[in-house]
Structure 1
Amino acid sequence: MNTKRAAVGRPTCTETPITFQRRRLDLRGIRGAVGKGRDFTRQALRDWGWERRETAEDALLVVSELVTNAGLHAYGCHELVLTAGEGLRIDVVDGDTAPPRPRAVCRPGVPGGRGLYIVQRLADRWGSRAHGTGKVVWAEFGASRLTATAEGHRH
């Protein structure tokens, strides 16, 4: 982790880019997978010095949407994988080989059907690929969105 210790013992971010790190969370059969996935992501973002970025909130929402979609439409979320390097990659592994299909039309006032639209709007890139007996739905956030100093926040 590329951090220095503050006087109170909390890590503070530095200008040095994060080296490649990957974290995995097994969510197969776990109750409250969305909340656990968000907590896991929040901690990783904190450890990587990205928690105070506006993009961190976008990443948490994308995790919520992808894990929710896996639970509702793809036989459950099996695993959440976060990869940090030049940016952030979020992978959600599920149990269905069918690629995700965004709804063509969302009806006003009717809940649901906006998850992939939200992912598409917030992430820099997203997609899916086959993986074993299921698939991985992924989203990426570029480094510039994670390392730019947030307004009012100093390193």
Structure 2
Amino acid sequence: MTMSRGTLDGDPHRAGPALPVGGQRRRLTLAGLPKPVARARTFTAGALADWYACTGEGVAADVVLLVAELVANAMLHGDGPLELLLDATGARLRVGVSDRSPALPAPRLPHEPALPGGHGLVIVERLADRWGAEPHGRGKTIWAEFDAARLTRA
């Protein structure tokens, strides 16, 4: 295993694994998959461990939470999730969840923490460095990005 990333757990001798030149993508088909939220969480945690030597703490936990939220939202509001795409480069990790609905998300404003519902996009906005939505022929993809520096410090 090639080791070339920053230090982990405060140990200057323990570096994280490097991504291949040009980055790496992993896809998980969610359409028709039983327990898609749980499967997406496990899939994401495995990718983070491989790419950044992150385990379920800190920013890694934030990424897994964000993935769970996006997949759950696709189930509740997007006519079902289609696919999870994790796209890692040296600069950033992009998470994308595609669903069947063409309706783009709109945060509930003003955000009312005491009321049920309407918190998903607030969670996404607070955890990710950037996020957005893109329509496509089968529906839309909600994406969120994390700067790689955050993950390599995790």
Q: Give TM class, smaller chain.
A: 0.7 to 0.9
Q: Which residue of 1 aligns with 2:9?
A: none
Judge conservation of contact 1:92–1:138 (CA < 8 Å) in 2.
yes
Normalising by structure 2, report the TM-score: 0.83
Larger strand percent:
2
- C-alpha change, 1:98 and 1:56, in structure 2 (3 Å) is same
Displacement of 1:14 in angstroms is 3.1
Displacement of 1:49 in angstroms is 2.8
Query: Identity rate of aligned residues, in percent?
Result: 48
**Distance in 1 between residues matched to 2:37 and 2:44, nearest whole Å:** 11
**Distance in 2 between residues matched to 1:15 and 1:129, nearest whole Å:** 32
Aligned length: 142
Other structure's SS at 1:119 match = helix
Which moved further from structure 2: 98-107 or 20-29? 98-107
Q: Which residue of 2 aligns with 1:115?
A: 120
Other structure's SS at 1:14 match = strand
- The unaligned stretches of length 5 or more in structure 2 are 5-12
Q: Could you tell me which amino acid in structure 1 is paired with residue 101 of structure 2? A: D
Whether 2:137 is the aligned partner of 1:132: answer: yes
Displacement of 1:119 in angstroms is 0.2
Q: 2:66 aligns with which of 37, 62, 68?
A: 62
Other structure's SS at 2:126 match = helix
Q: 2:75 aligns with which of 71, 78, 86?
A: 71
- C-alpha change, 1:2 and 1:139, in structure 2 (3 Å) is farther
Q: Could you tell me which amino acid in structure 2 is paired with residue 88 of structure 1? A: L
CA RMSD of aligned residues (A): 2.2
Other structure's SS at 2:145 match = strand
**Distance in 2 between residues matched to 1:141 and 1:50, nearest whole Å:** 15
Aligned ranges 1:20-35 → 2 under 5 Å: 20-35=23-38
Q: Could you tell me which amino acid in structure 1 is paired with residue 75 of structure 2? A: G
**Distance in 2 between residues matched to 1:30 and 1:13, nearest whole Å:** 37
Q: Which residue of 2 aligns with 1:49?
A: 52
- C-alpha change, 1:127 and 1:108, in structure 2 (3 Å) is closer
**Distance in 2 between residues matched to 1:116 and 1:102, nearest whole Å:** 6
**Distance in 1 between residues matched to 2:50 and 2:61, nearest whole Å:** 15
- C-alpha change, 1:117 and 1:23, in structure 2 (3 Å) is same
